[in-house]
Chain A
Amino acid sequence: MNGAKILLECLKKEGVDTIFGYPGGVVLPLFDEIYSEKDIKLVLVRHEQGAAHMADGYSRSTGKTGVCLATSGPGATNLVTGIATAYMDSIPMVALTGQVNTPLIGNDAFQEADMVGITRPIVKHNYLVKDIKDLAQTIKNAFHIASTGRPGPVLVDLPKDVFTSQMEFSKYPDQPLLRGYKPTYEGSKVQIKKAAEMIEKAQRPLLYVGGGVTLSNASEELIKFAEKADIPITTTLMAMDTLPAGHRLGLGMLGMHGTKYANYAVQESDLLIAVGARFDDRVTGKVADFAPHADIIHIDIDPSAISKIIKVDLPIVGSAKNILPELTKEVKKKEHKEWLTQIEQWKKDFPLTYRDSDSEIKPQYVIQKISQMVKDDTIITTEVGQHQMWAAQFYGFRKNRTFLTSGGLGTMGYGFPAAIGAQAGNPGKLVIDIAGDGSIQMNIQELATAVKYKFPVKVVILDNGYLGMVRQWQELFYGKRYSHTIIDHSVDFVKLAEAYGAKGIRIEKKQDVEKALKEAFAYDGPVIMDFITAREENVWPMVPAGAALGKMIEGELA
């Protein structure tokens, strides 16, 4: 059997049903095998960055490891942004890249790039397979590393002669061979007991929940724990979908564009229980003033996340999925009436809101409309910018793994291919990319992919003619000098959609918003909706970079 065939057999053993990829010179032997492959579907993208984000979106929405494939050199380097995006958000992904023939490696051969070197800082691990004998074991290791512990992308670089050389292949290895890799899943019993004692004593405890809870599918465990111990929950951008919107203990997002009541709760709490979160600067604001009255318990599967930014009083290393139920057993049933009453008061005094308008379409209004109209299992992806923050603030998430957004790296151009990947993994579900008119243009070429494979993703462009988030900072901190953020409706998105064979709708009046959404959701195919929105709407509230969380600024609100 040749290496290309062996690779496909290995992928099938790993349960891979879809690969997002693009052909090229050195991967010809592999594509030749894929030509007659029945069990794995290859989705042909239009740019390799799209393939990486699709594998990522597929993974986030299904929980399975996403797979993307590119040829050597430029094909492989085009994956880099997608790999870095997955790395920052701990998404399990295996990126397969072709490489020049082994004797040519290091010779500056045609389409040669040192992918192992280039991606080293943005992968959980990577491999260059130089011998067909190592191929199967390497694939086993790669999938194991990507999907276990704190997940992340793994790149496997595959020279052309590894695809073409022959070997007897009978059995896919049962076990990874990794003597230096043993993630901890079970939390220390002693630490869990100590945590329960701290929780018992706390008057104003607060759960600060991050993507680790989503990744370990521990939403239910989280809610059970929070309800028993009566502890309010604030979530990071990565965990907006871990708690159903409107839950009595839910405070929404914290941080730079978090709710006032979430940020006040952090600043007033006497015990902060961080679960699967990593104290990102967009969350903490000024670190020295973060949660000044609180002891901190940190539950995380990655020991290096603990005390990285802020010294933690009690670490528990392990999976949230295992630790939360243990902790639920240890804690007593409690009520924090006074604390929750205080929070209710903040919610009343400082609600998350915006000033609606009848003369123009407010972007927040569009998001609220979508939220009201769709089913609970609808998957929302976003690009990066104002629309992303409004989606986090004004869409009511109801189910785990329904919010796919580039939190760590902040990758513009992520949402649309991620939506296609999510649609590939969830054929029956409605998948919507909430986008800005800037971001959508970064991977718009994937519209061809959506049309060709009939992935009926819906793109909602909140079109204000600006690179809105940067413009907002220029307005607030750079004296309204809008340096290169004015993009002025320069693209006719309706015609663009039609050029690709998709449906395009432009919406300019508030009363047409609902009708357009209805029409788009009912349409059996990809749709681009261009909502012409209020131009200089800002995201509020806002903690200016480097300020303490309690120091939020706000424009004029109704």
Chain B
Amino acid sequence: MTKTKTISVIVENQPGVLARIAGLFSGRAYNIDSLAVGETEDKSTSRMTIMATGDELVLDQIVKQLNKLIDVIKVVDMSQESYVERELALIKVNVAGKDKTELMNVVNVFRARIVDATNETYMIEVTGTDEKITALTDLVKPFGIQEMSRTGAVALTRGKR
């Protein structure tokens, strides 16, 4: 049975590390759904948040193969943890001759924002989980989505209670 897993990877902040990770996925034919990279609290490391799909054996292998890379310092399989996951999306929607109130209702319900507006288009900024962003896109699709850009998910484990 295929599942999607969020994996958080702390890596050396060095040139070529992203290529090593991307090469691992392509070379071993693993499916990567999204990948987001950025610095962490420690400038010498970066955090990569990877969402990958596969059956249990494949997902297990992905974690092991990531751990095997010399530049990988730590791999956290988020599905074993309690964690917060967020993604940001910018969606440019056609509004010319359309009911903007209806669009605004959708935006408000999702606690999204309009960050750019012209007579022709509105740009929506939305933050949330993959499901939330997908739900919002489905609702605004009838207006006509001109362009969309998603960051891919980032994730952190929750604080200890």
Q: A residues near B, CB below 8 A?
A: 116-117, 120-121, 124-125, 128, 145, 178-181, 302-304, 306-308, 311
Q: How far is the CB of B90 from chain A (nearest CB, A)?
A: 32
Contacts A145-B70, A303-B67: A121 and B23 contacting too (C-beta < 8 A)?
Answer: yes
| CB <8 Å contact, A308 and B69 | no
Q: If the complex has contacts A116-B16, A121-B27, A304-B65, are A181 and B57 also in contact, measured as CB distance less than 8 A? A: no
Per-position binary interface string of chain B over residues 61-79, scored 1 when its CB falls under 8 Å from any chain A CB and 0 otherwise: 1001101111111100000
Tell me the bound Cα distance from A302 to B27 in angstroms: 19
> Which residue from chain B places its CB closest to the CB of A124 in the assembled complex?
B70
What residues of A have a CB within 8 angstroms of the CB of B64 in the complex?
Answer: 303-304, 306, 308
A304 touches B68 (CB 8 A): yes
CB <8 Å contact, A311 and B72: no
Known: A304-B64, A307-B57. A180 touches B70 (CB 8 A): yes
Contact B23–A125 (Cβ < 8 Å): no
| Supplied contacts A117-B19, A120-B16, A307-B60, 19 more A-B pairs, CB within 8 Å | A120-B20, A121-B23, A125-B70, A125-B71, A128-B16, A178-B70, A180-B69, A180-B74, A302-B68, A303-B64, A303-B67, A303-B68, A304-B61, A304-B64, A304-B68, A306-B64, A307-B57, A308-B61, A308-B64
- B57 → A minimal CB distance (Å): 6
Given the complex, which residues of A lie within 8 Å of B125, measured CB to CB?
none
21 A–B pairs (Cβ distance < 8 Å), ordered by A: A120-B19, A120-B23, A121-B23, A124-B70, A125-B71, A128-B16, A145-B70, A178-B70, A179-B12, A180-B11, A180-B12, A180-B69, A180-B70, A180-B71, A180-B73, A302-B68, A303-B64, A304-B67, A306-B64, A307-B60, A308-B57
Q: Across the interface, which residues of B come within 8 angstroms of A181, CB to CB?
A: 70
Do the beta carbons of B72 and A180 come within 8 Å of each other?
A: yes
CA A180 to CA B23, docked complex, whole Å: 18
A307 to B27, CA, bound (A): 19
* A181: nearest chain-B partner, CB-CB: B70
In the bound complex, CA of A306 to CA of B71 (Å) = 21
In B2-34, the 8 Å CB interface with A consists of 11-12, 16, 19-20, 23, 27
Tell me the smallest distance from the CB of B155 to a CB of chain A, in Å. Answer: 20
Docked CA distance A183–B25 (Å): 22
Bound-state Cα–Cα, A121 to B23, Å: 7
Residues of A near B71 (CB, < 8 A) are 125, 180
Given the interface pairs A120-B19, A120-B23, A180-B12, the reply to whether A311 lies near B68 with Cβ below 8 Å is: no
Q: How far is the CB of B160 from chain A (nearest CB, A)?
A: 24
Min CB–CB distance B13 → chain A (angstroms) = 12
In Å, the complex CA distance between A128 and B19 comes to 14
Q: Which 3 residue pairs spanning A and B have beta carbons closest together?
A: A304-B64, A180-B73, A125-B70
Cα A39 to Cα B94 with chains together (Å): 74
Assembled-state Cα–Cα distance A180/B74 (Å): 7
**Chain B nearest CB, measured from A45 CB (Å):** 29
